[in-house]
């Protein structure tokens, strides 16, 4: 049986507003989400075995828990007898850093689930897809389409056909952020920006005025993140700079590849120990 290759794209939050809390104590968020060309490579094939085999390789493969998102997905599918005793060998080349705010693990599960559905290895209706996705991670369902979307405070998703076509310079310090800890630091809630029936204008002026509410607690706990953002905001021709998710990746947005490449040279010179890579919205 041959391997199928899957590209598992990184997810970024162009904006993230914390609107309040649900009764479950989880935070109610509103976010403008995009995907970028940075991706993990996943290789999957059916095997004759009594159990699934999951292997992580690559720069960011260290210290991934055995109880990871892919393991949890296969466990749920097996428990619900959706795989009909099929077993798989899955190899993941991790190019997306862990604890970076780019949903690497969740997107791995999302793209594998999408692959199994597309290749008719499993059959699920829309309700089952949503239920299984939510058990793995709240953002897994977003990866099923990998399109720029608005996540509303009530959990509904609206896809946007238009791409913002921006180059992104991603910079991650040599530490990660705990999503749980950063959310605990949120003291104030924002008002919602997006409306379901209102057309969204993704032009520069609108994007510039958006924000990520998690920057306040993240910068308080990690002052180095604030210093990094201030430095990046001074780069030539940068449109805007924003943290994605709960961090620790800070992203600078540019109109052209050339200006982004010039900025990368400056960043690599001043932050030699930080991970820095050029990507583009898709």
Nearest C-alpha neighbor of 83 from the set 115, 43, 130? 115
**Contact assessment for residue 45 and residue 4, using Cβ atoms and an 8 Å cutoff:** yes
139 is an active site residue: yes
- Of the candidates 201, 136, 130, the residue with the CA atom closest to the CA atom of residue 162: 201
**Which among 94, 139, 172, 229 is annotated as catalytic?**
139
**Residue 248, preceding peptide bond in cis (omega within 30° of 0):** yes
**C-alpha triplet 69, 131, 192: angle, nearest 5°:** 90
Helices of type H across the chain: 69-79, 104-118, 126-136, 140-143, 179-184, 204-208, 215-221, 223-233, 257-270
Residue 78 annotated as catalytic: no
Closest Cα partner for 189 from 15, 29, 46? 29
33 Cβ neighbours under 8 A, 6+ residues apart: 11, 12, 13, 14, 142, 148, 149, 150, 151
* Residues with catalytic function: 11, 139
């Amino acid at each position: 049986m041959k391997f199928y290759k899957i590209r598992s794209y990184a997810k970024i939050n162009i904006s993230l507003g914390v609107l309040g809390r649900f009764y479950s104590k989880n935070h109610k968020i509103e976010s403008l989400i995009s995907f970028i060309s940075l991706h993990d490579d996943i290789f999957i094939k059916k095997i004759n075995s009594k159990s699934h085999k999951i292997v992580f390789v690559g720069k960011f493969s260290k210290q991934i828990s055995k109880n990871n998102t892919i393991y949890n997905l296969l466990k749920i599918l097996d428990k619900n007898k959706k795989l009909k005793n099929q077993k798989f060998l899955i190899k993941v080349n991790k190019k997306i850093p862990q604890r970076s705010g780019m949903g690497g693990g969740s997107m791995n599960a999302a793209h594998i689930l999408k692959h199994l559905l597309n290749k008719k290895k499993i059959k699920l209706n829309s309700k089952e897809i949503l239920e299984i996705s939510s058990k793995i991670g709240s953002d897994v369902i977003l990866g099923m389409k990998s399109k720029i979307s608005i996540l509303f405070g009530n959990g509904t998703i609206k896809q946007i056909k238009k791409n913002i076509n921006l180059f992104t310079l991603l910079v991650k310090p040599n530490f990660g952020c705990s999503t749980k800890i950063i959310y605990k630091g949120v003291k104030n809630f924002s008002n919602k920006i997006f409306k379901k029936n209102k057309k969204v204008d993704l032009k520069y002026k609108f994007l510039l005025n958006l924000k990520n509410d998690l920057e306040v607690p993240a910068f308080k706990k990690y002052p180095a993140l604030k210093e990094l953002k201030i430095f990046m905001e001074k780069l030539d021709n940068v449109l805007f700079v924003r943290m994605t998710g709960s961090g620790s990746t800070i992203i600078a947005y540019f109109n052209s590849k050339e200006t982004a490449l010039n900025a990368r040279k400056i960043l690599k010179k001043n932050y030699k120990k930080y991970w820095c890579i050029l990507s583009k919205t898709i």
